[in-house]
Amino acid sequence: MPNMGRPSSRKRTAFGERLVAAREEAGLSQRELADKLGITQRALSWWEREPVALRPEQVAQLATVLGVSTDQLLGVPTSKKRGAGPTGKARRAFEAVSKLPRHHQQKIVDVVETFVAGHQNGNGHTTGTNGNS
């Protein structure tokens, strides 16, 4: 059985906590990760426990080996970016439209483009082909 060492009585830094969590999520021991990084297990242990100033290439290598983003390792908050395209009812409607035959999709696209063009021109509504608004 490998020597597990003695646990540190010091509280880990925030970076150390994220590093340990990513390492454990990757299923790697300190020794295994250290080997992949080309450093000693003792150095990795230090990174997990103490405030450290890693070089950018070290952070990038850590992220690559652990399969996480550098932002995740550095604790950069991720903003919930809204994906492109419509949401809610419009999204569901366009998903349904995408399942229609192409010629039906084109008819719907023509109507939507006409409506959007009218709205962008500032009149807020368009007149349909039958004369109704």
pLDDT number for residue 102: 84
How many structural domains comprise the chain?
Answer: 2
- Looking up residue 21, the CATH number of its domain turns out to be 1.10.260.40
Cα distance between residue 74 and residue 60, in whole Å? 10
Give one word for 62, left, alpha or beta, with left for phi > 0 and alpha for psi -120 to 50: alpha
pLDDT at 99: 83
Could you give the CA distance from residue 68 to residue 59 in angstroms, rounded to a whole number?
A: 11
The reported pLDDT for the residue numbered 6 is 59
Q: Is residue 8 part of a domain?
A: no
Compute the distance between CA of residue 18 and CA of residue 48 in angstroms, rounded to an integer. Answer: 9
Same domain, yes or no: 70 and 88: no
pLDDT of residue 66: 94
DSSP string, 2-46: ----PPPSSPPPHHHHHHHHHHHHTT--HHHHHHHHTS-HHHHHH
pLDDT truncated to tens, each residue of the chain (133 aa)?
444 555 566 788 999 999 999 999 999 999 999 999 999 999 999 999 999 999 999 999 999 999 999 999 999 987 666 667 777 777 788 778 888 888 888 888 888 889 888 888 876 554 554 444 4
95 and 119 in a single domain? The answer is yes
Q: What amino acid is encoded at 58 in this protein?
A: Q
Say yes or no: 51 and 20 in one domain. Answer: yes
| DSSP 8-class letter at 13 | P
Choosing from 50, 74, 98, the residue where a domain stops is 74
pLDDT for the residue numbered 115: 85
Whether residue 68 is contained in a domain is answered as yes
Q: Are residues 91 and 122 in the same domain?
A: yes
pTM over 0.75: no
Query: Same domain for 90 and 123?
Result: yes
The range of the structural domain enclosing residue 26 comes to 14-74
